[in-house]
Structure 1
């Protein structure tokens, strides 16, 4: 019985931020990377926005940024659901920070000068999972588009 409990605890522990100071930035990066690769594997303009967002929002230096994005990319590829990222972000960020993340996601989506249907759908799902109100969702979309 103890082995089963220890195993369960280690699985749950992998998905809890705990003392990992990069858990929230990694989750945010994973969501943005998911968006960047949704249309034909992503293009450099979208990836540049992801880098800019992580540098500005979380104040990461070049080395930290590369390491974190590598970890986020691995987490994004291994993920079976957006919930493991959005759950951390929903509880770990204030409402204004969640809305700011959504705006960065819109910037990623618009970076290649076209908005694909799958990109908009993903941003809508993330907004719902992060509990960003619809009015804020639209406001952030317009801000990212420059309107």
Structure 2
């Protein structure tokens, strides 16, 4: 019975579709989760965040900055990452998920040190986005190679 209800709700949800803003907001929240994991937003992270959103979502700077404001509000009220990764799983393909995780790693290493909470959020996000452990490591290593660490 529960499976039937779940399938019915999923079918209804997919028929209705999701507005592009919801997907952008979900991605922005994931990035904000990383930068706020260590309870401090460095200037480097602050500059990098809108750049990554513009690249990831192909939006302009104004839209990216508005998404960041909205994402910070949603971050405060969120109970789990699942509500955001679920939306992303329905709309993002594998390459988009990998690009998001790469952006998360870039933010985590932006201030020169990796906080354990940042890494936990990235790994949890990767699990929820159905990315393999080897992909997570490969993406992390590519960021390390970029930064020369």
TM-score class, shorter: 0.7 to 0.9
CA distance in 2: counterparts of 1:83 and 1:117, whole angstroms: 20
TM-score (norm 2): 0.82
Aligned to 1:57: 56
Cα deviation 1:2-59 (Å, max 9, x = unaligned): xxxxxxx9xxx8xxx8442111111111011111011133212122222111111212
Aligned to 2:106: 107
User: RMSD over aligned Cα, in angstroms?
Assistant: 1.8
Aligned to 2:144: 145
CA distance in 1: counterparts of 2:39 and 2:67, whole angstroms: 23
User: Counterparts of 1:1-147 in structure 2 under 5 Å?
Assistant: 18-146=17-145
Task: Give the secondary structure class of the aligned counterpart of 1:146.
Answer: helix
Gaps spanning 5+ residues in structure 1: where? Answer: 1-8
| Cα contact 1:104–1:144 (8 A) shared by 2 | no
CA distance in 2: counterparts of 1:66 and 1:52, whole angstroms: 10
CA distance in 2: counterparts of 1:92 and 1:137, whole angstroms: 20
| Cα contact 1:102–1:137 (8 A) shared by 2 | yes
| Cα contact 1:37–1:43 (8 A) shared by 2 | no
TM-score (norm 1): 0.83
| 1:40–1:72 CA distance, 2 compared to 1 (3 A) | closer
